[in-house]
């Protein structure tokens, strides 16, 4: 068996037991990347040499009898908005094309401490703004299941990498669906943790109050494994909550959903969206019922009707401020020989940012401006509060909620790129979760007739990751784990 | 009919809070004289992905200052982002407390223009981070004529408290007293060193004039006053300038003006001309700052006696001139030294006198601070007791004092070293000394003998001369006796 096909759990066990070396695993993944990358282009940087050196170091330590940690020898790919000391971190933007961070993000530090091997940095929508990875300044990523289609976004490179077998684990960040939607498009598992569960220190901020780092994997077990490493309090991130680390793996022992109440949304049933996604949802709901869950209709009117509009005020507002630091003074690209300070700012930012980023900076600047703040930003904050309350009420009735991760399966490259509003609308089912700071997981439940992966999303109350992992484990026992995309064209 | 003007002044004071590390990271706050860009880290240079972590000590100092100003401390505050572009601001936003300040609605008592106590309202005290510093390439370090500019981020994220007054101040003198009072307060509290020259206390003034015919002049903001004297002069200048314009029927341009201390005038500031829209919004990277009642009560309990409280107590407890009280209470450490002397048995008047004339003289000469003064209050009191017991003359005691301080020796050692024990010179020795003084001052002796020394002035002069020659070792009563024998009345 080719080692790149193994799950993270299998790799960690195999390396620990000496059945194969970390170097063998890393080499297998690197050659997989090499053979697939020309058609998929999921990676912005592949740190092959460093990965092999790291694997050898781990193998040496293992031979010396050392315990390598829960991810000993496991290859991991990072979305290119997580800082890696000494390795370029571009956010898929021209403005950071050559930027090498002076420090590691907390998640990177935790992964390395747990014995992981970093293979490189994955493509994404520039500064995580987008739902297709087409906004990358360095080229689009293809969906490994259908090369003429997008992998979703903004963590499209990470999702595609796991789907294509580059690594068993990749990290993404989710501000409005950027883990769950690409997981669905690429047929893998993607978890967006509770806001405050994983550290944002070293994640280049898009919208600080919404961003959260989470894993892509091909099994629920692997998601749990990574979360046990990442789900710890970080004093470097003041929004990281000091909750005790959870025994996520324990949640995997669930065999059924007896006694569970799972909510489905009245608003979703009434929503006009893709039949293939509707079928996937029905199929998953049926599986839940068969596993013993009681399905309960609930309503989240504000979340579905106003969540999207509010999000596209709040997220750009925060982004306009977060991205102001890219001014050409200290790091990143800088316009040459400016005549004045103003020209330095204007040219650096005009040449450095892509269209979608500029669109959001402008939107965000507008909604925060004197005279508009109350009507937009403040109103949106109020909506956000109502959404939180709405969820809190819903979770008095149900243990988790099922809904689609996206209104459509993977769409074609170029299909929506000239219609930003349509692109934004694709986030309607994922955004409320970020607005309320809840955990959500996207899992694959099958494929469409033409072979496109179809996912469903489960969401839980704050700190309810274990609930999600139990449900995912039960679903996995019915639908099987995520598959590696081997073909090219379908 | 000639016009008169009423002056309206409000002050915004930035006080650098006295912490070892910066507001949101662990870098040293020591930026004065430090090599540029040495006390920096990814956070205070605004590297992507970094997140602020609030320095708890800053909150404590802010609450302490807020309580001393009689403010209400807000139990729940949030930090906000003030967005604007400038190279010394690495994140392109300053983290500050805009919507809800840490403290608000306080007051400070100063002397009114009528000489009576007058209350200046404190609008708010809020916490914020400092920016870095631009250094321009021109030889005088200014932006004009520079072809290059450099940024030093050592000061970036250093903690500040901004204290905003109500527009209650009615004269440059009062403005000066208000700032001096706040400076003294922050020093008493240990909150800041309050040094205007070094920039750890920066004052911006808003000044406008109301005309007796009912017109109001626009408000002008004046910056760049680096001393109390500069503040007073700048405001006096503005009153003259604005008054002249208004007298001519002109309008005051609402603007920011910079004080040029050497030229003695303000000039329109060329930077930041346009009115900025700072797009304030809540800092999402920091959770709300929630302060419990007990936290605030603990800080309140630990507040030291404030300068104005101390002054009132001195007036009540010690029979001292106002001037002495002001000098003694100016610095907390000096007041503590004084009180220790009194506690050790010195009379308040004598202790005050010695501290003002001798202790402060030595400290001034040496440029030292009372906290580093080698002579303990107990040792000083021991010396004063000898003067009170007539064992040492005042002259001799001053000599002994100098020896104790400069050579850091005990009282006994200093007396031996100076050879000045009172009464050392007496009897025949003293008589012959008197004789030689009389011989050297024949003209004076002549006046006394001719009974022209109406008020014993000349006699006292001779006595003084003898004491001086005796270097304090003679008993003044014995000298008087000998003089009475030599020059019978």
Spatial strand order of the sheet with A75-79 comes to A43-46, A117-122, A75-79, A169-173, A213-217, A189-192, A440-447, A453-459, A400-403, A261-265, A294-298
Contact A325 B91 (CB under 8 A): yes
Rounded average pLDDT over B83-89:
96
Listed ranges B27-36, B237-246, B315-324; the one with the highest mean pLDDT: B237-246
The contacts of residue A63 (CB under 8 Å, 6+ apart) are: none
* Predicted pLDDT of residue A200: 98
Residue position matching structure tokens 């008993």: B475
Which candidate, B102, B86, B78, places its Cα nearest to that of B15? Answer: B102
Interface test with A, best of B274, B281, B287, B289 (most A CBs within 10 A): B281
pLDDT, tens only, A360-415: 999 999 999 999 999 999 999 999 999 999 999 999 999 999 999 999 999 999 99
- Percentage of chain A beyond pLDDT 70 is 99
CB count, 10 Å around CB of B203? 27
* Predicted pLDDT of residue B33: 86
Active-site residue set of A: 79, 154, 178
Whether A490 has a pLDDT exceeding 70, the answer reads: no
The contacts of residue B343 (CB under 8 Å, 6+ apart) are: B377
Round the average pLDDT of chain A to a whole number and report it. Answer: 96
Lowest mean pLDDT among A178-192, B157-171, B246-260, B270-284: B270-284
ipTM of the complex: 0.96
* Predicted pLDDT of residue A390: 98
Contact A325 B277 (CB under 8 A): no
Which positions 304-323 of B are in contact with A (Cβ < 8 Å)?
A: none
pLDDT bucket at A488, cuts 50 / 70 / 90:
very low
pLDDT, tens only, A30-83: 999 999 999 999 999 999 999 999 999 999 999 999 999 999 999 999 999 999
Contact B48 A91 (CB under 8 A): yes
Of A355 and B362, the structure prediction assigns the larger pLDDT to: A355
**B332-343 and B322-330 helices, crossing angle to 10°:** 110
Cβ atoms of residues A413 and A159 within 8 Å: no
CB count, 10 Å around CB of A156? 36
Q: What share of chain A is helix, strand, coil (3-state, %, to 5)?
A: 45, 15, 45
* Chain A to chain B Cβ contacts (< 8 Å): 101
Rounded average pLDDT over A333-344:
92
Whether B275 has a pLDDT exceeding 70, the answer reads: no
Rounded average pLDDT over B452-465:
81
pLDDT, tens only, B227-262: 999 999 999 999 999 999 999 999 999 999 999 999
Round the average pLDDT of chain B to a whole number and report it. Answer: 90
Q: What angle do CA B372, B376, B377 make, to 5 degrees?
A: 120
Which candidate, A169, A158, A156, A146, places its Cα nearest to that of A71? Answer: A169
Query: What is the rounded CA–CA span in Å between residue B37 and residue B458?
Result: 70
Interface test with B, best of A85, A100, A340, A368 (most B CBs within 10 A): A368
pLDDT bucket at A150, cuts 50 / 70 / 90:
very high
Rounded average pLDDT over B382-402:
81
Interface test with B, best of A238, A241, A316, A328 (most B CBs within 10 A): A238
Q: Is the peptide bond before A154 cis (omega within 30 degrees of 0)?
A: yes
pLDDT, tens only, A175-226: 999 999 999 999 999 999 999 999 999 999 999 999 999 999 999 999 999 9
* Predicted pLDDT of residue B141: 65
Contact B48 A239 (CB under 8 A): no
Whether B148 has a pLDDT exceeding 70, the answer reads: yes
* Predicted pLDDT of residue B423: 61
Lowest mean pLDDT among A132-146, A470-484, B293-307, B359-373: B359-373
Which positions 53-112 of B are in contact with A (Cβ < 8 Å)?
A: 53-54, 81, 83, 85, 87, 90-93
Output DSSP code: residue B276: P
Q: H/E/C letters for each residue in A81-148?
A: CECECCECCCCCCHHHCCCCCCCCCHHHHHHHHCCCEEEEEECCCHHHCCCCCCCCCCCCCCECCECC
Whether A323 has a pLDDT exceeding 70, the answer reads: yes
Query: What is the rounded CA–CA span in Å between residue B27 and residue A30?
Result: 40
* Predicted pLDDT of residue B169: 98
| Strand A117-122 relative to strand A189-192, pairing | unpaired
CB count, 10 Å around CB of B249? 9
* Predicted pLDDT of residue A27: 98
Rounded average pLDDT over B165-184:
97
Query: What is the rounded CA–CA span in Å between residue A406 and residue A309?
Result: 16
Q: Which tokens is A90 given?
A: 């571009």
A99, A105, A239 member nearest B287 (Cβ): A239
CB count, 10 Å around CB of B344? 17
Residue of B nearest to A206 (CA): B49
> Mind telling me how many Å the CA of A384 is from chain B's nearest CA?
14
Contact A82 B49 (CB under 8 A): yes
Tell me, yes or no, if B377 comes closer than 8 A to chain A by beta carbon: no
Tell me, yes or no, if B32 comes closer than 8 A to chain A by beta carbon: no
Whether B271 has a pLDDT exceeding 60, the answer reads: no
Residue ranges with strand state E in A386-477: 400-403, 440-447, 453-459
* Predicted pLDDT of residue B136: 85
Query: What is the rounded CA–CA span in Å between residue A339 and residue A54?
Result: 47
pLDDT bucket at A469, cuts 50 / 70 / 90:
very high
A203, A321, A369 member nearest B277 (Cβ): A369
Q: Which residues of A touch B49 (CB under 8 A)?
A: 81-83, 89, 101, 105, 200-205
Gap between the terminal Cα atoms of chain A: 24
B49, B53, B90 member nearest A238 (Cβ): B53
Q: Which residues of B touch A237 (CB under 8 A)?
A: 51
Of A289 and A489, the structure prediction assigns the larger pLDDT to: A289
Decide: helix, strand or coil at residue A383: helix
Residue of A nearest to B92 (CA): A325
* Predicted pLDDT of residue A8: 98
Whether B265 has a pLDDT exceeding 60, the answer reads: yes
| Greatest Cα-to-Cα distance within chain B, rounded to the nearest angstrom | 97
Model confidence, pTM: 0.89
Interface test with A, best of B284, B286, B289 (most A CBs within 10 A): B284
> Mind telling me how many Å the CA of B263 is from chain A's nearest CA?
29
* Predicted pLDDT of residue B472: 66
Q: What angle do CA A150, A153, A154 make, to 5 degrees?
A: 145
Q: Where would I find the H helices in B134-290?
A: 172-189, 228-247
* Predicted pLDDT of residue A144: 97
Gap between the terminal Cα atoms of chain B: 71
Contact A377 B53 (CB under 8 A): no
Residues pairing with B223 in the sheet: B258
Residue of A nearest to B87 (CA): A329
Which candidate, B209, B156, B189, B244, places its Cα nearest to that of B64? Answer: B189
Query: What is the rounded CA–CA span in Å between residue B385 and residue B17?
Result: 42
Q: Which residues of B touch A343 (CB under 8 A)?
A: none
Instruction: Using CA atoms of B410, B413, B415, B418 in order, give the dihedral in degrees to the nearest 10.
Output: -120
* Predicted pLDDT of residue B422: 56
Rounded average pLDDT over A151-160:
97
In angstroms, how far is CA B329 from the centroid of its own chain?
10
pLDDT, tens only, A215-262: 999 999 999 999 999 999 999 999 999 888 889 999 999 999 999 999
Whether A478 has a pLDDT exceeding 80, the answer reads: yes
* Predicted pLDDT of residue B138: 72
Rounded average pLDDT over A88-96:
98
* Predicted pLDDT of residue B424: 65
Whether B416 has a pLDDT exceeding 80, the answer reads: no
Tell me, yes or no, if B24 comes closer than 8 A to chain A by beta carbon: no
Q: Which tokens is A317 given?
A: 């507002």
* Predicted pLDDT of residue B1: 58
Residue of B nearest to A329 (CA): B87
Residue ranges with strand state E in B249-405: 256-260, 265-268, 281-282, 289-290
Whether A322 has a pLDDT exceeding 90, the answer reads: yes
Instruction: From residue A214, give the alpha-carbon distance in Å to each of A122, A223, B72.
Output: 14, 9, 43
């Amino acid at each position: 068996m080719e080692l790149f096909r193994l799950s993270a759990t299998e790799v960690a066990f195999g390396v620990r037991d000496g059945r194969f070396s970390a170097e063998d695993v890393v080499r297998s993944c690197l050659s997989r990347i090499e053979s697939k990358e020309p058609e998929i282009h999921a990676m912005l940087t592949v740190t092959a040499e460093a990965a092999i050196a790291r694997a050898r170091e781990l193998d040496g330590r293992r031979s010396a009898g050392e315990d390598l940690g829960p991810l000993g020898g496991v290859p991991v790919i990072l979305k290119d908005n997580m800082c890696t000391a000494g390795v370029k971190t571009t956010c898929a933007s021209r403005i950071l094309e050559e930027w090498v961070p002076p420090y590691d993000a907390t998640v990177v530090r935790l992964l390395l401490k747990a014995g992981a091997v970093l293979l490189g940095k994955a493509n994404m929508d520039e500064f995580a703004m987008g739902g297709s990875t087409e906004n990358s300044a360095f080229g689009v990523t293809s969906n490994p299941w259908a090369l003429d289609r997008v992998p979703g976004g903004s963590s499209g490179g990470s999702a595609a990498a796991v789907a294509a077998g580059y690594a068993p684990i990749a990290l993404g960040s989710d501000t409005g669906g950027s883990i769950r939607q690409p997981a669905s498009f690429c047929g893998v598992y993607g978890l967006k943790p509770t806001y405050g569960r994983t550290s944002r220190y070293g994640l280049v901020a898009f919208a600080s109050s919404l961003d959260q780092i989470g894993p892509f994997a091909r099994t629920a077990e692997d998601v749990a494994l990574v979360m046990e490493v990442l789900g710890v309090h970080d004093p470097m991130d003041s929004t990281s909550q000091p909750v005790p680390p959870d025994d996520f793996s324990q949640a995997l022992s669930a065999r059924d959903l007896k006694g569970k109440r799972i909510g489905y949304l009245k608003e979703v049933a009434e929503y006009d969206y893709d039949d293939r996604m509707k079928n996937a949802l029905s199929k998953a709901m049926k599986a839940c019922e068969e596993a013993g869950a009681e399905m309960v209709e609930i309503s989240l009117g504000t979340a579905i009707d106003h969540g999207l509009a509010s999000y596209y005020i709040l997220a750009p507002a925060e982004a306009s401020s977060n991205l102001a630091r890219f001014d050409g003074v200290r790091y990143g690209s800088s316009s040459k020989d400016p005549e004045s300070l103003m020209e330095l700012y204007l040219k650096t930012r005009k040449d450095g940012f892509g269209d979608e980023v500029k669109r959001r900076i402008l939107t965000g600047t507008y909604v925060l401006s004197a005279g508009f703040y109350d009507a937009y930003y403040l109103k949106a904050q109020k909506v956000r509060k109502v959404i939180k309350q709405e969820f809190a009420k819903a979770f008095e009735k149900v243990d988790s909620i099922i809904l689609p991760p996206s209104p459509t399966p993977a769409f074609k490259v170029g299909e929506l790129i000239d219609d930003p509003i349509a692109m934004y609308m694709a986030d309607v089912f994922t955004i409320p979760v970020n607005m309320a700071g809840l955990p959500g997981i996207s899992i694959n439940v099958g494929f469409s007739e033409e072979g496109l992966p179809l996912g469903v999303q489960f969401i839980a109350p704050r700190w309810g990751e274990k609930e999600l992992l139990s449900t995912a484990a039960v679903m996995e026992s019915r639908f099987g784990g995520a598959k590696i995309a081997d073909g090219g064209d379908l | 009919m000639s016009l008169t003007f009423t002056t309206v002044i409000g002050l915004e004071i930035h006080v650098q809070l006295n912490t070892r590390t910066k507001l949101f990271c662990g870098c040293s706050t020591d930026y004065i004289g430090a090599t540029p860009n040495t006390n920096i880290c990814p956070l205070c240079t605004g590297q992507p992905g970094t997140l602020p972590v609030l320095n708890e000590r800053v909150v404590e100092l802010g609450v302490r200052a807020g309580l001393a100003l009689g403010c209400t401390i807000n139990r729940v505050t949030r930090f906000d982002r003030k967005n604007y572009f400038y190279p010394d601001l690495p994140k392109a936003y300053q983290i500050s407390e805009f919507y809800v300040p840490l403290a608000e609605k306080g007051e400070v008592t100063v002397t009114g223009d009528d000489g009576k106590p007058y209350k200046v309202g404190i609008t708010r005290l809020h916490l914020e981070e400092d920016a870095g510093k631009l250094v321009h390439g021109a030889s005088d370090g200014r932006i004009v004529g520079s072809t290059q500019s450099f940024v030093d981020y050592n000061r970036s994220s250093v903690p500040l408290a901004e204290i905003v007054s109500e527009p209650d101040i009615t004269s440059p003198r009062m403005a000066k007293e208000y700032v001096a009072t706040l400076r003294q307060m922050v020093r008493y509290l240990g909150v800041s060193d309050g040094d205007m020259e070094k920039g750890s206390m920066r004052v911006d003034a808003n000044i406008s004039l109301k005309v007796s015919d009912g017109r109001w002049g626009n408000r002008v903001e004046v910056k760049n006053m680096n001393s109390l004297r500069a503040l007073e002069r700048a405001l006096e200048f503005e009153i003259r300038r604005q008054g002249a314009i208004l007298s001519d029927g002109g309008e005051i341009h609402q603007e920011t003006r910079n004080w040029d201390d050497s030229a003695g005038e303000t000039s329109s500031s060329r930077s930041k001309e346009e009115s900025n829209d700072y797009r304030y919004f809540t800092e999402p990277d920091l959770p709300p700052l929630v302060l419990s009642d007990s936290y605030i009560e603990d800080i309140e309990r630990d507040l030291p006696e404030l300068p104005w409280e101390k002054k009132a107590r001195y007036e009540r407890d010690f029979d001292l001139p106002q001037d002495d009280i002001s000098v003694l209470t100016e610095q907390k450490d000096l007041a503590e030294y004084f009180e220790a002397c009194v506690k050790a048995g010195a009379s308040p008047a004598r202790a005050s006198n010695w501290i003002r004339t001798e202790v402060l003289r030595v400290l001034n000469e040496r440029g030292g601070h009372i906290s580093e003064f080698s002579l303990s209050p107990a040792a000083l009191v021991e010396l004063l007791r000898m003067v009170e017991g007539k064992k040492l003359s005042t002259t001799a005691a001053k000599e002994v004092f100098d020896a104790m301080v400069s050579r850091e020796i005990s009282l006994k050692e200093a007396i031996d070293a100076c050879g000045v024990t009172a009464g050392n010179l007496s009897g025949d020795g003293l008589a012959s000394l008197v004789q030689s003084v009389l011989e050297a001052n024949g003209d004076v002796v002549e006046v006394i003998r001719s009974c022209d020394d109406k008020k014993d002035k000349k006699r006292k002069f001779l006595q003084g001369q003898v004491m001086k020659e005796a270097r304090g070792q003679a008993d003044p009563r014995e000298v008087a006796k000998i003089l009475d024998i030599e020059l019978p009345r």
